[in-house]
A and B are shown apart, each in its own frame.
Chain A
Amino acid sequence: ETGVTQSPTHLIKTRGQQVTLRCSSQSGHNTVSWYQQALGQGPQFIFQYYREEENGRGNFPPRFSGLQFPNYSSELNVNALELDDSALYLCASSFGGLVQETQYFGPGTRLLVL
């Protein structure tokens, strides 16, 4: 059974640019959640995708968007990057059905916006 993987591991962008982060979910999981973890803080929920549909969103602006593909992998896109977007971006996968199961996290992508 493979775990959650994310790419790239590190990324440096400049303010105003756009970025795409990728996540491959754990085998057998159909739900992907994205979180932003600023330095010294706990992860903050961005949104969740279940069977290719957005299934909940946290308090993040529309320039944060996502996709989930038929193989349940996922992308997080951030447009018009701001300095405060610098953070560790975490992807978590789980199996969702009548009851959502436990989330398992990937290693994260560390984004630095200059």
Chain B
Amino acid sequence: QKEVEQDPGPLSVPEGAIVSLNCTYSNSAFQYFMWYRQYSRKGPELLMYTYSSGNKEDGRFTAQVDKSSKYISLFIRDSQPSDSATYLCAMRDQTGANNLFFGTGTRLTVIP
């Protein structure tokens, strides 16, 4: 079993839709949770960074962490064609090495 599971999609939605992306994980030591966006043939770009449980909002993006269920989500409101990309969840524990554990990524296409 992988430490981080993510539905690879692909996911296609019409412009303006609300998008929900999810990851589950097995390691209860994970404390820091991130969402990265990766355009084709580019490096991942940090979107959201959350510590422990709770919600965080930044513009059209909302990140949720439920540590009791080992489940994290990213919501995108009023989706735009420019949101078309692969979304990677990532997480780590509190050890000094700071290595990130990634999901496989969900490929999202927003159709104009």
Residues of A within 8 A of B (CB): 4, 6, 31, 33, 35, 40-45, 48, 50, 55-56, 58, 90, 92, 94, 96, 99-100, 102-108, 110
B69 at the interface (CB under 8 A from A): no
The listed residue (B34, B90, B96) touching A56 by CB distance below 8 A is B96
Residue of B nearest to A91 (CB): B43
Q: Report the Cα distance A55→B83, complex, angstroms.
A: 35
Q: Are A55 and B97 in contact, CB atoms less than 8 angstroms apart? A: yes
The tally of CB-CB contacts under 8 A between chains A and B is 70
**Contact A100:B44 (CB < 8 A) given known A40-B8, A41-B104, A42-B88:** no
Query: What DSSP secondary structure best describes chain B's contact surface?
Result: loop
Q: Give the bracket for the number of chain B residues in contact with chain A.
A: 20 to 34
Q: Are A110 and B99 in contact, CB atoms less than 8 angstroms apart? A: no
B13 at the interface (CB under 8 A from A): no
Closest 8 CB pairs of A and B: A56-B97, A42-B102, A100-B98, A105-B43, A45-B99, A107-B43, A105-B44, A108-B43
